[in-house]
Structure formats: structure tokens, C-alpha cells
Amino acid sequence: MKKGSVYIYAGEGRGKSQAALGRAVQTAVAGGRVVLIQFLKGKGLEDSDFLRRLEPEIRLFRFEKSDEVYEELSEERKQEEIMNIRNGISYAKKVLSTGECDLLILDELLGLVEKGILQADEVKSLLDCRDTTDVILTGISLSDEICFMADEVSKIETVKFKVWE
């Protein structure tokens, strides 16, 4: 049986999460099930009425409790959120080990590695749980160690064109 693929959307540009969401819609249209877990997004997409209408094919989770951006939290609140984030990682591991979905999107997981909340070996351990489930990781920064875990890496950058009058 073929192992699921790992895709990474990384870079300074805008649109990484949207690209992952596009893949989620493609998977759902093809009859697949999708789990999307967001990290470090503040309020994120959690309250999106539109995405809620896509359930049960696309299920959205956010384990962090604060609506504030992680960097703006006090040290005490950061520690609380790290526990919540770790619960999200545990849930992702359960999803992968049970084959609960066809596509798992871990939105801004690369930011967890960048901030030292998650180590590269923990990411590898998580990805090793996948059977046939495809996984998408998004985030700005990408280390070589994480890059080598992927089957495909897309660098997203924003290019602005000036329109001449």
C-alpha cells in the first residue's frame, strides 16, 4: 500500500493557507475527507460560517484558546497555549494513526518549529504515523531538516507588479 505524501507550502508570500484550503476542496469534491488543524492564527478560520457548511467532508479544528496572536501573549499565557497546541498535535497523530481522513492539513505547523514549540524529530514522528493519508504543512520558515521530510515543497512569494498608466 502506498504511503501518503507530504506537501509543504512555505515562504514569505501570502496564500499558503488558501492553497492548502484549495487542496482540501479538491479532496472533498473527489469524495475524500479532510481535517484541517490551525496553529498560531489568533482567531483563524474557526468562526467561518462558510467552512462550517463544508462539514463533514472538511472539518476545521483550532486547539488554542486565545484569539490573540501568539507573540502578543504574556509568558504565562504562552505556556497555556503551548499545552493546547500539544493537544492539537496529539489529535493530529490520532487522526493519522487511525486513517480518519484522506488529507490532513497542519496550518502553520512550520511556525511551531520556528518558535521552538515543536522539534523537527517530533514532526518526523508525527509524519511517520501516516498510512495513506496525505499531509500538508504550511508556514513561513522552512528548515532543511523539515524540507527533507516532504515529497513536494512549494515556495510561495508575493510579487507586486506596478501597472503603468
Q: For the stretch 18-34, what's the b/e string if a residue is b when 16 or more beta carbons lie within 10 angstroms of its beta carbon?
A: eebbebbeebbeeebbb
User: What are the pLDDT digits (tens) for 71-106?
Assistant: 888 899 989 999 999 999 999 999 999 999 999 999
Provide the pLDDT for residue 72.
Answer: 81
User: What are the pLDDT digits (tens) for 29-70?
Assistant: 999 999 999 998 766 555 567 777 888 899 999 888 877 778
Q: Exposure of 76 by Cβ count < 10 A (0-12 exposed, 13-18 middle, 19+ buried)?
A: exposed
Domains of the chain (ranges, CATH numbers): 6-155 (3.40.50.300)
Provide the pLDDT for residue 133.
Answer: 97
Contact of 158 with 11, CB cutoff 8 Å: no
Per DSSP, 54 falls in state T
For residue 56, whether the previous peptide bond is cis, meaning omega lies within 30 degrees of 0, is yes
Three-class secondary structure assignment of 80-115: HHHHHHHHHHHHHHHHHHHCCCCEEEEECHHHHHHC
Q: Which residue type sits at 82?
A: I
Provide the pLDDT for residue 46.
Answer: 54
